[in-house]
Amino acid sequence: MPEPLDRRVRGLAAVLAGGAVLAGVNGLSGGRIGLPCPFQLATGLNCPFCGTTRMAAALLEGDVARAWPYNPPMFVVLPVVTLLVGYMLLAWTLERLGWFRLPRPRPGARIQQVVPPAFLAVMALYGVLRNLV
């Protein structure tokens, strides 16, 4: 019996669905979409994630050169996460349909302990540095 879709994968799938909606809205608005950042509104500083919406919109339009300066760390992370979530959803769907089972990546405990804090540390450092420059 196929295992149920992991709650984290469902959450990431919801984020990707939101991205698809954002892509549609971006297309309908002529590329003039932007969500205000509460941190920036309160402090006047850019948070580590500021520019991610504009970066994603530029990527959806195929403009890689315009996407990079908006948020370089997320430029690297977003495609990797998108591919991983897409693969997990494909594996789950194929298994649910009873066709076949794709191997699923299972990161070790050490990776699960190190990667999230390292990512947050990199983003925090980026948040500080982008406001100093």
Task: For the chain, give every domain's residue range.
Answer: 7-132
Dihedral angle over CA of 37, 41, 45, 47, nearest 10: -20
Contact 31, 57 (CB under 8 A): yes
Q: What percent of the chain has pLDDT over 90?
A: 28
| Mean model confidence pLDDT for the chain | 84
- What mean pLDDT is predicted for residues 98-104? 87
Q: Where are the alpha helices (DSSP H) in the chain?
A: 7-28, 38-43, 52-60, 64-67, 72-96, 109-132
How many residues does this entry show for the chain?
133
